[in-house]
């Protein structure tokens, strides 16, 4: 009897895990690069956050992983990240 119940529940558990993964991936795709405070616009408030992390690397006290928006990520906040930030300057999220 237990085996029957497990066999019935496993597909649901698998599906829930897949669904969670898809939702997380979708949310990442929707995130506006440079909107560090998640208010839907890339503006001066985000620039303040970016400036605080400027020229820092992973392990530094001022490092902010959210500001590492260049691809591929290089664990350093530098001009590559600034280029992405500047390209999205004053962009507004459609969501
Ligand atoms: Ca923002």
Please compute the mean of the pLDDT values over residues 63-76 and round it to a whole number.
Answer: 97
Residue linked to tokens 């690397």: 57
Coil/strand/helix, residue 14: helix
Token reading at 35: 């909107």
What is the Å distance from ligand 1's center to 67 Cα? 12
What is the Å distance from ligand 1's center to 75 Cα? 21
What is the Å distance from ligand 1's center to 23 Cα? 22
Q: Give the global pTM.
A: 0.68
User: Residue 89: pLDDT above 70?
Assistant: yes
d(C-alpha 40, C-alpha 66), whole Å: 15
What is the Å distance from ligand 1's center to 41 Cα? 4
pLDDT tens-place string over residues 46-63? 999 999 999 999 999 999
């Amino acid at each position: 009897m237990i085996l029957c119940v497990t066999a019935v529940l496993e597909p649901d558990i698998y599906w829930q895990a897949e669904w969670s993964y898809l939702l997380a991936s979708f949310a990442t795709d929707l995130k506006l690069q440079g909107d560090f405070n998640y208010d839907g616009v890339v503006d001066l408030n985000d620039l303040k956050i970016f400036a605080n992390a400027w020229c820092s690397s992973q392990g530094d006290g001022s490092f902010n992983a959210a500001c590492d928006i260049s691809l591929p990520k290089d664990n350093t906040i530098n001009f590559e990240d600034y280029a992405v930030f500047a390209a999205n300057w004053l962009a507004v999220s459609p969501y």
